[in-house]
Amino acid sequence: MTNPSLAEPRQQTISKPASSSKRLLSLDVVRGITIAFMIMVNNNGGPGSWHFMNHAEWNGLTPTDLVFPTFAFVIGVSIVFAFSARLERGASRSELARHTVIRAIVLILFGIIVNSFPLFHLEHMRFYGVLQRLALCYLVVGLFYLYDQRASTKWMALAAALIGYWILVRWVPIPGIGMPGRDVPFMDMNRNLVSWIDQHLFPYHLYLYSPDHNVRDPEGLLSDLPAFGTTLMGVLAGIWLRSNRSGKTKTYGLALASFCSLLAGYLWSLAFPLNKNMWTSSFVLVAGGYSLALLTLCYWAVELRNWRRGWTYPCLVFGSNAIAAYMFSELLPGILGFFKISSGNRTMNIEQYFVSHVSSFLPAHGWAPFAWSFTFTAVCFVPVWILYRRKIFLKV
């Protein structure tokens, strides 16, 4: 699961990125591509959907696993441009800090509403979630950048977050269970330090639970630490893009950073496996590497080649109103769930009815669920496009 960027500068201009007050439209395109794919994989048509339209069950990586960290990465880039622009326009740090805290709180509340809609069962209400994690990344990394804009401190914080998390998960004994790799398999699906903390902090309020057994949550508390690292990678990319270097040099720099991040991440995964649920340090580097690759492509296409029509337009529409797109896509399934359709001797929801009937025209495996996924995303695009045409943008 995944989500939109929180910090977005308002002015829209494409030109040399020397001034931080100018909006980086290529970042909107990155955000739009990410949220469109997010909507598709979150509504992938159920059983029968292609493997890459689903998350890896535990260790491993699929394209779907890259959506969430790309949003965290985009938040980091946006922080640099948005905060720097407002500081240049005369806003005080205390004013920006207050606004950052308020935005984070509102996003956390939005996340709890999305988790609970439409039934709102208080006894098992989930407090963790996608919006909640992105809000915390925005809050912590945003305040860090607000009061210290040096790249060097961001590199040190990134290293500390990734290495520190690896040490905690690999070398700290789990109370009542034992040492990972000796008393319990390293990165056991349910018996690990991340899950242990969540089970004791919010019992029966986790993503996976049963009446007699607390399991785990993919957005748990301790794994926020490496998620901050993902956002810090975005901040470092933003600092690079905001520099006075030429557009070509910036493109080469992003591409080189992507290659190095992917290489380091895949090498580290030999000892610390790629795992989106635990947001492992190797996952941070690999996902960040792919985010950098996507940003490189979009920066080259939009900022250097000036491609603002064609395939970039729907991405720009989605990316400019990402919060609206996300909220609509998350609330729509709950609304559709109230409608049931009788077919033969079965009662189906709209998604099941669509997939079962389209499969008779598209018998090849995976195409019917993909048709639902694409149709659902197109439906979500319509209200976002209307808002875009009317210059209405949902902000926090």
Span 329-352, average pLDDT: 71
pLDDT digits 0-9 by tens, 181-220: 999 999 998 889 998 888 888 777 676 555 555 577 888 8
pLDDT digits 0-9 by tens, 124-176: 677 788 889 999 999 999 999 999 999 999 999 999 999 999 999 999 999 98
Q: Which of 53-57, 102-106, 190-194, 263-267 has the highest mean pLDDT?
A: 263-267
Half-sphere exposure for 349 (CA within 13 Å, toward CB)? 11
Run of H or E residues at 209: strand 208-210
Better-scored residue on pLDDT, 162 or 352: 162
Q: What does residue 356 show for φ and ψ, rounded to 5 degrees?
A: -65, -35
- The mean pLDDT value of the chain amounts to 85
With beta carbons less than 8 A apart as the criterion, state whether 263 and 42 touch: no
Better-scored residue on pLDDT, 243 or 359: 243
Domain spans, the chain: 25-389
Q: Which of 44-58, 182-196, 284-298, 334-348 has the highest mean pLDDT?
A: 284-298
Q: Strand, helix or coil at 73? A: helix
The answer on pLDDT for 332 being more than 90 is no
Angle between helices 322-336 and 93-116 (to 10 degrees): 20
